Chains A and B, each alone.
Chain A
Amino acid sequence: MSGHVSLKSVYYSIFGALMALTAITVFAAFVNLGNLNFPVAMAIATIKATLVVLFFMHVKYSSHLTKLVVATSLFFLVILLSETFMDYATRGLGPNLPLPLLH
Chain B
Amino acid sequence: MSEAVAHAHVHADAKGHDVHHPRLQHHFETMAQQKEASTLGMWVFLLTEVLFFGGLFFAYMVYRVWYFDAFAEASRTLDITLGALNTAVLIGSSLTMALGVRAAQTSQRSATVFWLILTILLGCVFLGVKVVEYADKFEHHHVPGPNFVWASEHEAAPAGEGAAAAGAEHAAPSNGAELQGLTQIYFSLYFTMTGLHALHMIVGVVLMSVIAWMAYKGRFDAHYYTPVEMAGLYWHFVDLVWIYLFPLLYLVERHN
Q: Which residues of A contact B (CB under 8 A)?
A: 1-3, 5-6, 8, 11-12, 14-15, 18-19, 22, 25-26, 29-33, 37, 41-42, 44-45, 48-49, 52-53, 55-58, 62-63, 65-66, 69-70, 72-74, 76-77, 80-81, 84-85, 88, 100-103
Known: A70-B43, A80-B55. A1 touches B254 (CB 8 A): no
Q: Which residues of B contact A42 (CB under 8 A)?
A: 244, 247
Q: Which residues of B contact A62 (CB under 8 A)?
A: 39
Known: A8-B99, A45-B244, A80-B55. A1 touches B84 (CB 8 A): no
Q: Which residues of A contact B106 (CB under 8 A)?
A: 5
A32 touches B40 (CB 8 A): no
Known: A11-B99, A56-B98. A81 touches B58 (CB 8 A): yes
Known: A52-B236, A62-B39. A44 touches B102 (CB 8 A): no
Residues facing A in B210-254 (CB within 8 A) are: 222-223, 229, 232-233, 236-237, 239-240, 243-244, 246-248, 251, 253-254
Complex: chain A residue closest to B15, CB-CB: A1
A53 touches B240 (CB 8 A): yes
A56 touches B94 (CB 8 A): yes
Distance of A27 from chain B, by nearest CB (Å): 10
Q: How far is the CA of A23 from the CA of B218 in the complex (A)?
A: 39
Q: How far is the CA of A26 from the CA of B239 in the complex (A)?
A: 17
How many chain B residues touch A (CB < 8 A): the figure is 54
Q: Which residues of A contact B222 (CB under 8 A)?
A: 2
Q: Which residues of A contact B87 (CB under 8 A)?
A: 22
B51 touches A45 (CB 8 A): no
Q: How far is the CA of A101 from the CA of B40 in the complex (A)?
A: 42
Known: A49-B240, A52-B239, A81-B58. A73 touches B50 (CB 8 A): yes
